[in-house]
Amino acid sequence: MGTLLNWEDARKNCAKLGGQLAIIRNQAENDAALRLRVGNEYIWLGGSDKKGEGNWKWINNVKISTYFKPRSGYSNWGVGQPDNYQGINQDCLTFWDSRPGWDDADCSSKFPSICETTKPV
Ligand SMILES: [Ca+2]
Ligand SMILES: [Ca+2]
């Protein structure tokens, strides 16, 4: 997870390793993923709104709740996120670097990422 990759490369890298970019289904998974973090850094997660602005989805196509589009299911956005910060099109999901919760970030940014295996453990 230490390698710095843009979101799409991170997604492909996880697939190559036989898994997928992490999907966070509940608080326990969120906490477990956060424990993998070294310090306060952005880390790619397996969600984006690349395919439709404001239409946040996990890579398994399950929709992600936002304050402007509430859905059922877990979400953990940081305050005011997602925000397409300063008009930059932020379409990829990450842990926010310094504050609790998730952030939408520029997909071409290079961050570490978390893969999960799809096999039951
Ligand atoms: Ca966006
Ligand atoms: Ca943002």
Model confidence over 50-96: pLDDT tens digits?
A: 999 999 999 999 999 999 999 999 999 999 999 999 888 999 999 99
Ligand 2 centroid to residue 30 C-alpha, Å: 18
Exposed, middle or buried: residue 13 (CB in 10 Å: 0-12, 13-18, 19+)? middle
Tens-place pLDDT, residues 21-40: 999 999 999 999 999 888 88
- 2 domain-assigned: no
pLDDT of residue 119: 60
Instruction: Classify strands 43-48 and 115-117 as parallel, antiparallel or unpaired.
Output: unpaired
- Domain containing 22 equals 7-116
CATH code of the domain in which 98 resides: 3.10.100.10
Q: Which two tokens stand for residue 10?
A: 């991170």
Query: What is the distance between the terminal CA atoms of the chain, rounded to a whole angstrom?
Result: 19
Q: What is the domain count for the chain?
A: 1
> Which of the ligands is closest to the CA of residue 95?
2
Q: Which two tokens stand for residue 52?
A: 């439709």
Nearby residues of 22 by Cβ (< 8 Å), 6 or more positions away: 29, 33, 45, 46, 113, 114, 115, 116
pLDDT of residue 86: 87
> Which of the ligands is closest to the CA of residue 109?
2
Ligand 2 centroid to residue 101 C-alpha, Å: 11
- 57 domain-assigned: yes
pLDDT of residue 2: 73
pLDDT of residue 121: 47
In this structure, are residues 95 and 35 in contact, taking their beta carbons and an 8 Å threshold? Answer: no
